[in-house]
Amino acid sequence: MKAAVFHELGKPLVIENVAKPQAGPGEIVLKVHYCGVCGSDLHATHPGVFVVPDGTILGHEFAGEIVESGAPGWKVGEMATALPNNACEECRNLGLGECKDNLGILCPKNTLTGFHPSAQGAYAQYVKFSAKEALRLPSAVKSREGATVEPLAVGLHAVNRGKVTMGERVLIMGGGPIGLAVTVFSKLAGARAVIVSEYAAARREAAGALGATAVIDPGKEDVGESFAKKAGGPPDIIFECVGVPGMIQKCVDLSRPFGRMVVVGVCMVEDKMVPMSAIFKEVNIQFILGYGRPDWRLVLDLLEAGRVDPRPMITDVVTLEELPAAFEALRKPSTQIKVLVRPNE
């Protein structure tokens, strides 16, 4: 099969012919219809605290058709997606196929699909995963939307951990796919004001389409003053969805006394802040990573019911051959938000 393979920092992904995965006991092989390009994929192929090994096939936001099943109850032809978790050897030897401590993505021994050659990802025509992590796509959810379940689940998990409640004022720093997912679920949670601060015009426009009550261009407006004017007061909760040095401190500065912050953005380098500025306000700061299986199930239910529509965030669909160039272009995005690859096109 064909796949886009990472080999070296500073070099684009390489389209290669590699062995097609085969389903062992309890495993599923999926023909990949769509796979999203995630910011974590870009981080993992850039100098920093974590770089994937040579020979890794990235890609953990995928959906498609089952072509081989070694798992009872899973049939060829069914449409599916899967959490990117892969149980460690200890848990596999126990016959569990998933984390015995129910830590999921938080387990330090977990190997994530698309981040190591031992768990190759879906920038390929086919991908293999444990049936323990699989989820069927409802008939109303097409594989294109199914490939957005993963980033949507991140946003849902962040909103749940932030305990957004009806009537609150929400500020979202960053209008990339995760910031937009937070927008969707903050609105569903009943927030009275959901305001996205974002430099890129295309992302501000998408934020409005996905439920933001207002947007802020931080290049032209003071974020704190503009938010207070548009929302009728300071933010009750701020979501940091950018992941660059200085953003945590910026959010602390924007917070009200007893305010809440959720750090969703992935900063891969050392950062610093002034703790006293948060202490003086007794700011509650929550860091989050990923999601759990219930988040994925709820996202699928909401997609099926038509209460969540991710299409405004999908801006580009590319072939596998076009992926290396599209991947590198995302390091300095212009109009792109969520890029999907169709490996079998």
pLDDT of residue 109: 78
Do 282 and 327 lie in one domain? The reply is no
How far is residue 150's CA from residue 134's CA, in Å, rounded to a whole number?
12
Average pLDDT, the chain: 95
Do 99 and 160 lie in one domain? The reply is no
Do 6 and 84 lie in one domain? The reply is yes
- CATH number reported for the structural domain that contains residue 65 in this entry: 3.90.180.10
Do 328 and 283 lie in one domain? The reply is no
How far is residue 94's CA from residue 87's CA, in Å, rounded to a whole number?
10
Tokens of 107: 């387990």
Asked if residue 105 has pLDDT above 90, the reply is no
> Is residue 204, in this structure, part of any structural domain at all?
yes
Q: Which residue has the higher pLDDT, 328 or 110?
A: 328
Strands, DSSP E only, in the chain?
2-5, 14-17, 27-36, 61-69, 79-82, 126-130, 134-136, 169-173, 193-197, 214-216, 237-240, 260-263, 284-287, 314-319, 338-342
pLDDT of residue 97: 64
Query: Residue 57 sits in which domain range?
Result: 2-148+310-342
One-letter identity of residue 109: K
Exposure letters 283-317 (e unless 16+ CB within 10 A, then b): bebeebebbbbebbebbbebbeeeebebebbbbbe
Do 73 and 141 lie in one domain? The reply is yes
Do 278 and 216 lie in one domain? The reply is yes
Decide: helix, strand or coil at residue 275: helix
pLDDT of residue 99: 74
Q: Mean per-residue pLDDT for 32-50?
A: 92
Asked if residue 50 has pLDDT above 90, the reply is no
Do 15 and 130 lie in one domain? The reply is yes
Q: Which residue has the tokens 């299409």?
A: 311
Asked if residue 93 has pLDDT above 90, the reply is no
Q: How many percent of the chain have pLDDT more than 90?
A: 89
The pLDDT tens digits for 252-281 are 999 999 999 999 999 888 899 999 999 999
| Furthest CA-CA distance within the chain | 58
Do 173 and 127 lie in one domain? The reply is no
pLDDT of residue 224: 97
Tokens of 19: 């062995």
Q: How many percent of the chain have pLDDT more than 70?
A: 98
> Is residue 178, in this structure, part of any structural domain at all?
yes
- CATH number reported for the structural domain that contains residue 164 in this entry: 3.40.50.720
Decide: helix, strand or coil at residue 33: strand
User: Nearest to residue 164, comparing CAs of 186, 183, 194, 192?
Assistant: 186
Grade residue 143 by pLDDT with cuts at 50, 70 and 90: very high
The pLDDT tens digits for 54-67 are 999 999 999 999 99
Do 331 and 267 lie in one domain? The reply is no
Do 191 and 280 lie in one domain? The reply is yes
Residues of the chain by 3-state class (helix, strand, coil), percent to 5: 30, 25, 50
> Is residue 302, in this structure, part of any structural domain at all?
no
Do 137 and 168 lie in one domain? The reply is no
Say what the pTM is.
0.95
The answer to whether the beta carbons of residues 112 and 120 sit under 8 Å apart is: no
Do 198 and 114 lie in one domain? The reply is no
Q: What is the DSSP secondary-structure string of 82-143?
A: E------HHHHHTT-SS-TT--GGG-TT---TTSBTTB--SSBSEEEEEGGGEEEPPTTS-H
Beta strand pairing call for 169-173 and 214-216:
unpaired
Grade residue 100 by pLDDT with cuts at 50, 70 and 90: confident
> Is residue 199, in this structure, part of any structural domain at all?
yes
Number of domains in the chain: 2
Grade residue 96 by pLDDT with cuts at 50, 70 and 90: low
The pLDDT tens digits for 175-218 are 999 999 999 999 999 999 999 999 999 999 999 999 999 999 99
> Is residue 223, in this structure, part of any structural domain at all?
yes
How far is residue 268's CA from residue 151's CA, in Å, rounded to a whole number?
19
pLDDT of residue 94: 64
> Is residue 300, in this structure, part of any structural domain at all?
no
> Is residue 294, in this structure, part of any structural domain at all?
no
Length of the chain: 345
Please, what sign has the CA dihedral across residues 62, 159, 193, 242?
Answer: negative
> Is residue 305, in this structure, part of any structural domain at all?
no
